[in-house]
Amino acid sequence: MTRQSDAYRALPAIEKLLKREELSGFTSVSELAYVKHEARNQVEQLRSQIALSNQEAIGWVIDSDVQKEICERITNSFANRPSSTLKAVFNLTGTVIHTNLGRARLPVEAVAAMEVAALGDVNIEYDLDSGQRGDRDEHLEKLLAGLTGAEAATVVNNNAAAVMLVLNSLAKDKDVVISRGELVEIGGAFRVPEVMESASCCLREVGTTNRTHVTDYEQAVDEKTALIMRVHASNYQIQGFTAGVADKELSKLAAAKEIPFVSDLGSGTLIELSQYGLPKEPTVAGTIAAGADLVTFSGDKLLGGPQSGIVAGRKNLIEKLKRNPLKRALRIDKITMAALTAVLELYREPESLQSRLPLLRDLTRPPEDIQIVCQRLAPLLSAKLAGRARVDVMSCKSQIGSGSLPMDLLDSFSLCFDPIALKGKRDAALLNLAHKFRMLPRPVVGRISDGRYFLDMRCLRDEHEFISQLSALNIT
Ligand SMILES: *Cc1c(COP(=O)(O)O)cnc(C)c1O
């Protein structure tokens, strides 16, 4: 019995283990999360063996240098963890919100919240006060209402799902009136006419590509019309002889006809971006204030959170969405919920948002900062690629990406690689260079343009890691 209690006493506290020299090399958030979890895991396993009076385990805990041994087990387990084809990469493409590279990078506050949710149980749909089943949306609804002025909100898997849910809940087998200038393709398979069709709505186009007037809408609305829709043209712009109808006018018309006015903002920012010197984008609060009954927007574009789609607006309409069985198929899980809640919490303290939200930090990074990084790295790469490529620091433009206007560019700096190769072999040399960068332990993704290879350093944060793997770069 005493040996059993001695063994319990010999088990180290997790905090103590984590402070040990052997584990000091684990520094990134994900490594620390892994190590912490594994430390708990190892100690718990030993504790249950002691509880079962396993003499071998008890002897081992008492007689060995148990802290050192556990650290060794943790390090081994880390080294042998399953590898994945999904890897952390350096996004040096110059496109900040890059859909193919996973869009927004999350703040540590969100990662910490995700860890808690992932490792344990959470009251995602459980009311702690009554002990009854709760409402999944409640965790986010108050936050969203506070940030947007909306009465109610719901969250689904992404914005495409949000649009689909709105159309299918409010306009199934009915007409949706939309301007011809907004029948856009957002990229991938999101094309407005096709989305309408798969939500079982009938598209009723009005106006022309460049000009639509309020009378066009007026004449189109009849008893078959379920709603008036606006889609933010996101990735293209019509210039010249153009005319559109303001949100205020459309919402007035919709109210007079007793149908909802729905606006799909796409990126949908919660704050006035122009205050940071960024291009002006319609805000969710502004659109709701202008009278939109529902607004849909992405969680992982300008908002800077996890992949999700948010619908905010009138309570009676949100209730209809929640009653649609599709909502069940499109709902978010506890991990997304945790991350999105944490990100929205950051928005409640606007003064610190720029320093805490990685997306905003990257979008507002001063070009002089990026230039200094390029100047530090250029000599290292020049030396590494001597005889293979010329390396220069060049000013360039970054794109915001993911449905923000392609014309709205940000001043930035990049490393520019000019391959030294015979005429006719240049293209192959260029492709080879880009490929070699992508084959690094943490792949580097750049951009080829005008016969040169560019690494836009706007989104480089971990300069040390970038440098430390350059030894693995072998251009032949
Ligand atoms: C990006 C975008 C969507 C799709 O949003 P996802 O979050 O990628 O599903 C829909 N509508 C507009 C206007 C967009 O810009």
CATH of the domain at 417: 3.90.1150.110
The contacts found for 77-80 with CB under 8 angstroms, 24 or more apart, are 77/38, 78/26, 78/31, 78/34, 78/35, 78/38
Distance 146 CA to ligand 1 centre (A): 23
d(CA 83, CA 305): 26
Calculate the CA 198 to chain-centre distance: 26
| Measured distance CA(166)–CA(294) in Å, rounded | 8
Q: Does residue 10 sit in the same domain as residue 123?
A: no
Q: Which atom of ligand 1 is nearest to the CA of 309?
A: 7
Please tell me the distance between residue 300's alpha carbon and the centre of ligand 1 in angstroms.
Answer: 10
pLDDT for 405: 62
Q: Atom 15 in ligand 1: which residue has the minimum CA distance?
A: 266
The answer to the question of residue 84 being in a domain is no
- Asked if residue 334 and residue 193 are part of one domain, the reply reads yes
Among 100, 164, 190, the mutation site with the greatest number of ligand 1 atoms within 8 A of its Cβ is: 190
Pick the more confident residue, 46 or 189: 46
Q: How far apart are CA 454 and CA 472, in angstroms?
A: 19
User: pLDDT tens for residues 19-44?
Assistant: 999 999 888 777 888 899 999 999 99
Residues 291-297, mean pLDDT to the nearest whole number: 98
Q: For residue 52, which phi and psi values (nearest 5 degrees)?
A: -85, 5
Domain end marker among 341, 356, 371: 356
Backbone angles phi, psi at 108, to 5 degrees: -60, -30
Q: How much distance in Å is there from the Cα of 313 to the middle of ligand 1?
A: 18
The reply to whether 294 and 350 lie within a common domain is yes
Is 210 within the bounds of a domain? yes
Residue 235: pLDDT above 90?
no
Element (H, E) at 416: strand 409-419
Tens digit of each residue's pLDDT (9 = 90 or more) over 92-125: 999 999 999 999 999 999 999 999 999 999 999 9
Atom 14 in ligand 1: which residue has the minimum CA distance? 266
Same-domain check for residues 206 and 246: yes
| 435 dihedral zone (left: phi>0; alpha: psi -120 to 50; beta) | alpha
CA of 231 to the centre of ligand 1 (A): 9
The pairing of strands 152-156 and 132-133 is unpaired
Environment class of 85 (CB within 10 Å of its CB; exposed 0-12, middle 13-18, buried 19+): exposed
Question: Does 173 fall in a domain?
Answer: yes
Indicate which CATH number applies to the domain containing 136. 3.40.640.10
Domain boundary among 312, 329, 356: 356
Q: Which pTM was predicted? A: 0.86
The region of weakest confidence among 107-116, 236-245, 322-331, 426-435 is: 236-245
Element (H, E) at 64: none
**Residue 85, in any domain of the structure:** no
Residue 1 has a pLDDT of 56
Q: Is the domain of 195 the same as that of 320?
A: yes
Domain identity same for 304 and 337: yes
- Which protein residue has the closest C-alpha to ligand 1 atom 7? 159
Q: What is the mean pLDDT of residues 307-319?
A: 98
Question: Rounded to an integer, what distance in angstroms lies between the CA atom of residue 91 and that of residue 79?
Answer: 25
Angle of CA points 270, 361, 308, to nearest 5°:
45
396 domain residue, yes or no: yes
Residue 270 lies in a domain: yes
Q: Please give the pLDDT value at position 188.
A: 66
**CA of 402, closest atom in ligand 1:** 1
In a domain, 430, yes or no: yes
Q: Does residue 266 share a domain with residue 141?
A: yes
Which residues form the domain of 335? 108-356
Domain boundary among 304, 322, 356: 356
Query: How close is the Cα of 309 to the center of ligand 1, in Å?
Result: 8
Are residues 236 and 324 part of one domain? yes
DSSP 21-41: GGGTT--SHHHHHHHHHHHHH
Q: How far is the CA of 33 from the centre of ligand 1 (A)?
A: 32
| 16: nearest Cα among 79, 60, 64, 70 | 70
Question: For ligand 1, atom 13, which residue shows the shortest CA distance?
Answer: 266
What's the length of the chain? 476
Pick from 238, 234, 220, 148: nearest CA to 186: 234
Pocket test for ligand 1, best of 95, 186, 234 (most atoms within 8 A of CB): 186
Q: What's the 298 CA to ligand 1 centre distance in angstroms? A: 6
From the CA of 235, give the closest atom in ligand 1: 15
Let me know whether 242 and 376 are in one domain. no
Regarding whether 348 and 229 lie in a shared domain, the answer is yes
Helix (H, G, I), strand (E, B) or coil at 444: strand
* Protein residues whose CB sits closer than 6 Å to any atom of ligand 1: 158-160, 163, 186, 190, 231-232, 234, 264, 266-267, 298, 309, 403
Q: Looking at ligand 1, which residue's alpha carbon is closest to its atom 11?
A: 266
**Same-domain check for residues 198 and 238:** yes
Mean pLDDT, to the nearest integer, of 79-88?
Answer: 86
Number of domains into which the chain is organized: 3
Same-domain check for residues 388 and 325: no
